[in-house]
Structure 1
Amino acid sequence: MQDMAGRKPALIWAVNLAALLLVILWTVPTAGLFVSSFRDRDQISATGWWKSLTTTEQTGFVRSGTAEDQRAEGDVFVIEGNVLAPDQSLLGWGTRAREPAAYRPGETAELDGARLTVAEDGSYRLESDRPFEMRRGERIFVTTGSPPDFTLSNYARVLQAEGIGRAFMNTMTVTIPATIIPILIAAFAAYALAWMEFPGRALLTAAVVGLLVVPLQVALIPLLRLHNDIGIGKGYLGIWLAHTGFGLPLAIYLLRNYMAGLPREVIESARVDGATEFQIFRRIILPLSFPALASFAIFQFLWVWNDLLVATVFLGNTREQLVMTGVLRELMGSKGGEWEILATSAFISIAVPLVVFFAMQKYLVRGLLAGSVKGG
């Protein structure tokens, strides 16, 4: 017993560390996506999101003015300009690509018969004792620093120009009914299988369990042909029915196991008092089964929200019909280099599932565990 007691704290620490690691692995990429969605392309290309609150260093070059821009100051010919963009600070500068920060602001470099000085504010002065004859300006390499900058323009662009706003509404239109309808149907079916006596109840329960292992891919084409034959075609009604059919086996299984574990005395007392089956279902079973209903709602909502295959088959691929996953797929092909657009679109896509999960996650474990250990 002492050995077992001595191992228990070590096992607890191992479990806690494993859980913490999983939380970190899940949270860090989400946080990075959120931060990147507010950064512009230059910042994302220059530094990682973990450096978003620090000054961003960038190296590039600008060209000075040409011979046409020179002016005479006594016996000296001068070309002036500025190497900095707004909100940038000069960290160093140079005249060769291998040493882009060879000189500090305010220092002077000797060129071929000329002298170049770049001040801290980015203004440069190129002077020579002879007139300049160059048609192209001298290259001035600069290492600049940009302060942290966050913008909402990424969200405005993806919601309007890139079609994410329309796709968001399409996804909500698909997901909400496709979550509510199977819950309503499954709740009635689960109550009947758990508490009502009728011939073939055991066979129906076995059939529901068997349907859990049937992959939805084998039913896509036959179901689409059926929709076309009965006149539904491609549209919201068709995809609602498809998601309902694919989600019902799991919903009935979870809710039936949960309802079967509810106290029998409460049900029998209600029947003795003259309550009908519908009254028992509405006033007793549904309130007590809320954790199981919520746990399935999370699963169904997340599955439908992140679905691409069923939406492509039963809804279509036109711009007006695309859901969020469809638009993200197109953006990956057409905007593969614009990371700020992809990050913003991806975070919009996961924002609603995150809200739903955190709002209802306290019921998730209760519903799943109760449905797995109780049966009738």
Structure 2
Amino acid sequence: MKTWIPCELHTHTQHSDGQFTVLELARAAKETGRESIAITDHNTLVPKEEIVEAMEETGIQIVRGLEWTTFYGHMVVLGMSHYVDWRNMGMYTIHEGLAKIHEAGGIAGIAHPYRVGSPLCTGCFWQYDVKDWHAIDYLEVWSQQFPPEKESNQRALALWTDLLNKGYRITGTYGLDWHAPYPEDAITAVTYLQVDRDENSCYEEQVKVAIKNGRVVVTMGPLLLFFLKNNMTSQEWGIGDTVTLSSHEKLDVSISLDEHRGQDKWQQSNRPSYVALQSNLGLLTKQALGIGEKHMNCTLDTQGLKWVRAELFGYMHDDVETMIGFTNAIYFSP
């Protein structure tokens, strides 16, 4: 059965520079309403035994990964069968490392590409020369606490949009970069992944498939769901899908907010919010939602569209108007 799972994809433990043990991190994830985490310590893989112990005690699903921490950029790598060394990679040879990561069964995402770099944080600012963006599986569009208000994340969002406009189907994610307990009033986001909870399926593989296929929603508030439908054929497309049409058509748009997902601290305030549809053609529509309203419907003209995503805007703490969350794209075939 397909379902949306709240995850944290960028964390650290005492195996690198985090304050948590693996078990403490899993407990903290459970306390904050997450159902899954990826442990991504700097240039090291956490022992499987500790992961198994933490999963058995807490019920939290844990994906084994690492943060490839180099002089020219950081990459979050998930699901590798074995460690892949970064030390032979130069600024212009990143594709050799990406090929090895993929050969080891992993997926690679650029972490916080515009965070302040050297000398404050060596390698935090992305400097690698990416010649083929098809080799990048995902991009950490949002990072850290209260992510939409950080200039570095605004630049990352613009980069992601530009790459989508150029035809690259790169998935946008969030990473708290979780090193230690954060204050009770901290505003964080969560990455929702659409996975198959079939007991016979490997959860780690499901996570990799969800990220690679763009079945991802990022939010500080409710889970934002987005569908397109052709009423003539009853065909429906969701986040990450590709729409194939024989001719120029209009499709029905359905957007809904699932406010039952996540903890209270992630929910938006009681002031009005609005939903926007963003695309390669720019802003397509913006529609206000009344207080308590959870659904938006409209019609979408598909002419000229390559991709479209939904974005939710509202207020946090009743005084800061900001982007609350975004979906990944629904694509259109040429």
Q: TM-score, normalised by structure 2?
A: 0.22
Higher helix residue share: 1
More RCO (CA 8 Å, sep 6+): 1
Larger Rg: 1
Q: TM-score, normalised by structure 1?
A: 0.20
